[in-house]
């Protein structure tokens, strides 16, 4: 690499904010337009779609995946992937349930579950960077190890007998909307703040754009990679607690398949699997669109397998458009 090339690569992250701001605005505007059109269509197609009960159920179910998708967005922006968040979700829920049923106060049980989940993410981030293990392999192995561990410590049995005050939050509402939705909003705001206003957020985009150039710019790659996967596991742990609240019991198989839903929300929302592109608002819109497709399909009596085909096709189209825009930009 020549000095001129090296300088060019070092400068590149400096232009990242302006480039991504333009792309994200375009992507978010398109998604918002799609969302509005879909809502208008469904409001005529089904008289139940815009009812308060349906909207509440939609937000209540989407919030869990939506919270996990915030952390997944950071991982994808860094040009990584985390296939273990479904297992981390299950682990966190089971740990919180075991602690509560053992007499530990609710707050400490939730805190303990979130700490355990975050530690798992930190370890995976360290393995990925220090061991030079591809994220796909490291988190795939993590998914299997964590899920096996959860099944082992629970004997594959459901944990019941949670405190009534904890379970009552499942039906709690604020301003006519599910309380869990506002937890999702809080996580979204946290993610958006980190991405836009913190050094860590800028570093994630730089690493996703060109890891070597980021290193030459003085960014501590190991520290930031560990933080990315730690934050992803942290949001997955919050999702695990929300799942526990919704179900009312600790389920060892909780979170199975949620990693794919989180990836889908981020990718449909404009995050690029090649890294350096994506936004929290886009992920929010992506999650809502996918949830509305499934919810609307159910209201119209469309086969759930067909809905899976539609969502899968949407992901492929999003990736194809991303690849096309990159080729045109060269």
Averaged pLDDT, 90-99: 95
- Whether residue 329 is predicted with pLDDT greater than 90 in this model: the reply is no
310 in any annotated domain: yes
**Total count of domains within the chain:** 1
User: 175 is in which domain, residue-wise?
Assistant: 15-38+54-324
**What letters, b where the CB count within 10 A reaches 16 and e where it falls short, cover 271-290?**
bbbebbbbbbbbbbbbbbbb
330 in any annotated domain: no
Angstrom distance (rounded) from CA 103 to CA 106: 9
6 in any annotated domain: no
109 in any annotated domain: yes
Tens of pLDDT, residue by residue over 230-257, are: 999 999 999 999 999 988 889 999 999 8
Tens of pLDDT, residue by residue over 260-318, are: 999 999 998 888 888 888 899 999 999 999 999 889 989 888 888 888 888 888 888 87
122 in any annotated domain: yes
- Whether residue 198 is predicted with pLDDT greater than 50 in this model: the reply is yes
Model-level pTM? 0.88
Instruction: Specify the pLDDT at position 315.
Output: 83
- Whether residue 9 is predicted with pLDDT greater than 70 in this model: the reply is no
Question: Residue 166's domain is classified under what CATH number?
Answer: 1.10.3470
Averaged pLDDT, 81-104: 95
Say which residue, 330 or 135, is predicted with more confidence.
135
The span from the first CA to the last CA of the chain, in angstroms, equals 20
Angstrom distance (rounded) from CA 95 to CA 271: 31
Averaged pLDDT, 70-79: 96
Beta strand pairing status for 177-178 and 173-174? antiparallel
Averaged pLDDT, 203-230: 94
């Amino acid at each position: 690499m020549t000095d001129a090339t090296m300088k060019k690569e070092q400068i590149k992250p400096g232009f990242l904010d302006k480039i991504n701001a333009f792309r994200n605005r375009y992507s978010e505007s398109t998604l918002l337009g799609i969302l509005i059109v879909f809502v208008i269509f469904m409001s005529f197609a089904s008289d139940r779609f815009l009812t308060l009960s349906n909207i509440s159920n939609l937000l209540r179910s989407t919030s869990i995946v939506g919270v996990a998708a915030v952390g997944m967005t950071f991982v994808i922006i860094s040009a990584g992937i985390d296939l273990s968040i479904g297992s981390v979700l299950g682990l966190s829920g089971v740990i919180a349930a075991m602690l509560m049923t053992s007499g530990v106060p609710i707050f400490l049980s939730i805190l303990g579950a979130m700490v355990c989940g975050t530690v798992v993410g930190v370890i995976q981030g360290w393995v990925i960077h220090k061991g030079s293990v591809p994220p796909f392999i490291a988190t795939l192995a993590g998914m299997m190890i964590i899920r096996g561990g959860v099944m082992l410590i629970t004997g594959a049995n459901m944990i019941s007998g949670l405190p009534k005050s904890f379970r009552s939050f499942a039906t709690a509402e604020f301003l006519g909307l599910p309380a869990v939705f506002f937890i999702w909003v809080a996580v979204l705001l946290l993610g958006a703040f980190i991405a836009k206003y913190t050094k860590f957020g800028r570093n994630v985009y730089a690493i996703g754009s060109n890891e070597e150039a980021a290193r030459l710019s003085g960014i501590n790659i190991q520290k930031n990679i560990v933080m990315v996967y730690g934050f992803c596991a942290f949001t997955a742990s919050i999702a695990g607690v929300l799942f526990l609240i919704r179900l009312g019991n600790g389920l060892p198989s909780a979170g199975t398949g949620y990693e794919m839903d989180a990836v889908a929300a981020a990718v449909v929302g404009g995050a690029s699997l090649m890294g350096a592109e994506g936004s929290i608002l886009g992920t929010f819109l992506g999650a809502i669109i996918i949830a509305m497709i499934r919810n609307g399909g159910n209201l119209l009596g469309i086969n759930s397998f067909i809905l899976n085909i539609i969502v899968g096709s949407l992901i492929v189209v999003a990736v194809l458009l991303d690849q096309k825009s990159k080729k045109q930009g060269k």
